[in-house]
Amino acid sequence: MIAVIRYGAGNVLSVMNALSRLGCKAVLTDDPEAIRSADKVIFPGVGEASSAMAYLDSHGLSDVIRSLKQPFLGICLGMQLMCSSSEEGNTECLGIFPERVTLFPKGRGYKIPHVGWNTITDLSGPLFRDTGEGEYVYFVHSYYVPLTPFTSAVAEYDGIAFSAALEKDNFLGVQFHPEKSADAGERILRAFLEGRQ
């Protein structure tokens, strides 16, 4: 079973639809036991960091997520919440990746949020087994994770190279939206669903 974590964040329906297109049965849940017993877990999200963390904490999900051993994929806000902290609302996050999520600097001529198709490079790890260097994926975000030893894909916006993906043990994260990234995103999701991390 694939558990998709429900925590008040947006964009969950498009993730569920993408999984359905791939022939995957998934359950949307905030039940700790259902999440613990899942074969794999997806942590999607579009939203605001502090309110999302408040939901996780109030439903006992923060400690559950940190304790998981099965393959785990965070998407967009889901990836950011896996870091130590975020400038968005000065939020303490889950601490899986020892990084601070940072707001793109204003006044450099580029629009914030970063919205649209962008290339990913320097790919490594199981998510990108069927993805070529320089493929395009879809981003929507104002905050980013700097490059880190856990970076498994890189993108650039306004001259800033940032982590398009992270990997540590069973925890994987992508800043982009694979469920909105056409064929490339479908291959990335399929690699997660079929992989054995």
Q: What letters, b where the CB count within 10 A reaches 16 and e where it falls short, cover 54-92?
A: ebbeebebbebbeebeebbbbbbbbbbbbbebbebeebe
Closest by CA to 8, choosing from 42, 35, 48, is 48
Q: Tell me the catalytic residues.
A: 76, 177, 179
Within 10 angstroms of residue 13's Cβ, the number of other Cβ atoms is 11
Per-position DSSP letters for 85-124, written without gaps between them: EETGGGEE---SEEEEEEEPPSSSSS-SSEEEEEEEBS--
